Amino acid sequence: MQRPLTLHARDGAPLRGFVWAHGEPAPDRPVVIVNAATSVRCRYYTRFADHLFAHGADVILYDYRGIGESRPASLRGFDASWADWGGLDFEAVLQHASAAFPGRPIDVVGHSFGGCAAGLAPSAPVIRRLVTVGAQYAYWRDYAPRERWRMVAKWHVAMPALAAVLGYVPAKRLGWMEDTPRGVARDWAACTPRLEHRPSGRRTWQSGPPPSFAAMKAHVLAISLTDDPFGTIPATERLLGYFGGSQRTHLRIAPADIGVDTIGHFGFFHSRFEATLWPTALAWLQTGRLPAGTPGATVVRAAD
């Protein structure tokens, strides 16, 4: 059922995670890859992976270089960026899925930056369906107004300062998230509204949009939560604008829609929402459509 996964990106970086695989092969059984949020361990999504597996999918969880199972002995000066996480690490997992499960449909669930990473891999055109949750790339003007200046001080002042002084961000010690490579911190903290103008983006795509986004033809469901200060409507739509070749649906859910007080940026993947939120993601992965009774409302998208 569940087994460890070890593979290498094309630059040799080791990547580790876990695979849930059914014993009997089936040509139409999907493989679902879960892309984690920035500096969140893949183990956080284990119960969600169990749920997908119980409903017929094979599942891959993995950690980006520098995080969790893929962390080196020391992060001080360790080289990793958002472009690496999407263009090298997720790319390696996509290639592994294609080789290990030949001919099978490949779907992706991306949380926060994980939704962005889905469009950065050269092999992204193989993705059939994509569900993103709170997905954006941290442009400060898109943060929820009530939280904006606190978030700017934390993520755009304190975080890059720590990275510059220490060579990495000791985020776990501060109770923020997992410790974070300095290149990732620099990408996150940059104040430009365009992904390709972030530090690793300028090096990787010469300031043009990553071409892998436009090459994708996946059916994309972007889920945003009204009490998520990162995943506001402007932030979600800013990222969705890159998926120009895909069919895109933006679903906005409020906690009251499912009878709770809070969901937030991380809550969607908590098992307490197995009966209320997870069926929406599962149905999209299985059919490419929203099921009857889906909570929330779709956002009318402006023309690109």
Provide the percentage of residues in the chain whose pLDDT is more than 70: 99
Expressed as residue numbers, the domain containing 262 is 2-140+194-298
Assigned domain for 108 exists: yes
Give the mean model confidence (pLDDT) for residues 201-214: 90
CATH assignment of the domain containing 240: 3.40.50.1820
pLDDT tens for 221-269 read 999 999 999 999 999 999 999 999 999 999 999 999 999 999 999 999 9
163/228 Cα distance (integer angstroms): 25
Position 208 scores a pLDDT of 84
Assigned domain for 163 exists: no
Assigned domain for 51 exists: yes
Assigned domain for 156 exists: no
Assigned domain for 145 exists: no
DSSP conformation class of 15: E
pLDDT tens for 48-102 read 999 999 999 999 999 999 999 999 999 999 999 999 999 999 999 999 999 999 9
Assigned domain for 215 exists: yes
Judge contact between 90 and 81, C-beta under 8 A: no
Assigned domain for 105 exists: yes
Give the mean model confidence (pLDDT) for residues 9-27: 94
The answer to whether residue 303 scores a pLDDT higher than 70 is no
* Alpha carbons within 13 A on the beta-carbon side of 59: 25
Contacts of 161 (CB under 8 A, 6+ apart): none
Assigned domain for 29 exists: yes
The structural domain count of the chain equals: 1
